[in-house]
Amino acid sequence: MIDSTIREPLHRELERWQDAGRVARLWLRDDDAIEPTAALERLIAETKNYHIPITLAVIPAFTGTPLAQRLAEEALVSVAVHGWAHHNHAGPDEKKQELGGPRLEETVLGELFEGFLKLKDLYPTRFLTMLVPPWNRIDKGLVPKLPALGFQSLSTYGRVKGKGPLAIVNTHVDLMDWHGTRGGRPMVELIGELVAELQDRFEGRSEPIGVLGHHLVHDTAAWNFLAELFEATAGHPAVEWVSAASLVQDQMSIT
């Protein structure tokens, strides 16, 4: 059982939002889906139980009909393009990256277009015209070329800075400790980070808060945080879990 003192900062912050008559918008993205797995089943069951929409970033090169058939009736699931093959093309001393770096621009764009068409065909009712770059990295010069491929939105990590040719719907709270244990981050750390994002939005920033998971590598800590988060927020009057599609549509309607 989780110590109630760990939960308390989140409960207090949500009470502040409720007392002010305000509603925080949260959304959920999960990366690296390829095929049906036990971990994916658990994720779908957890989100469905709380009626929380989820965007799966699917790797086009290695996916196919098994995952498409599994998701066909999952109304709360949307599918985004997770690069092409999630292969690192950066040098040994550089940050991992698939979309850019030393590669020819036409090669990268060609792969993205192939991935776009493949997922659009596999998911006629679940497909979201969103690019999720592997490792959340893409060369800036490629971004203006994405609308010509059919992309309407982009999702990386961190608070949005400025405007561009696409709707940007980012994530902000990553469950995983990629530079340490490579397992789920401590509950107290994740709740503290979420509360900090909520406080930032309360003070005026309008963008929704994105929670980022990687179901294939979730351990007990990661699953426990999701369970705690869903229990604390689903149905709370100060929280609305929204789909990525609706967030993209909101931005497009403004512009």
Reported confidence tier of residue 92, pLDDT bands at 50, 70, 90:
confident
Residues 17-35: tens digit of each pLDDT:
999 999 999 999 999 999 9
CATH 3.20.20.370 assigned to 4-254: yes
| Residue 28, both tokens | 């959920």
pTM of full prediction above 0.85: yes
Radius of gyration for the alpha carbons in the chain, expressed in angstroms and rounded: 18
Residues 39-86: tens digit of each pLDDT:
999 999 999 999 999 999 999 999 999 999 999 999 999 999 999 999
User: Comparing 180 with 122, which gets the higher pLDDT?
Assistant: 122
Percentage of the chain modeled with pLDDT above 70: 98
User: Comparing 253 with 174, which gets the higher pLDDT?
Assistant: 174
Paired strand residues for 40: none
Residues in Cβ contact with 71 at an 8 Å cutoff, skipping those fewer than 6 apart: 56, 77, 79, 123, 126
Tabulate helix, strand, coil % of the chain (nearest 5). Answer: 45, 20, 40
- Residues listed for the chain: 255
Give the pLDDT of residue 30: 98
Give the pLDDT of residue 3: 66
- Looking up tokens 């900062």 gives 9
Percentage of the chain modeled with pLDDT above 90: 87
Q: Return the closest-CA partner of residue 169 out of 200, 125, 212.
A: 212
Reported confidence tier of residue 138, pLDDT bands at 50, 70, 90:
very high
Residues in Cβ contact with 25 at an 8 Å cutoff, skipping those fewer than 6 apart: 208, 209, 240, 242, 247
Give the pLDDT of residue 162: 78
Paired strand residues for 209: 26
Residues 167-219: tens digit of each pLDDT:
999 999 999 999 888 999 999 999 999 999 999 999 988 899 999 999 999 99
CA distance 64 to 70: 11
Q: Identify each DSSP E strand in 13-160 by its residue range.
A: 24-33, 54-58, 77-81, 127-131, 153-154
Reported confidence tier of residue 254, pLDDT bands at 50, 70, 90:
low
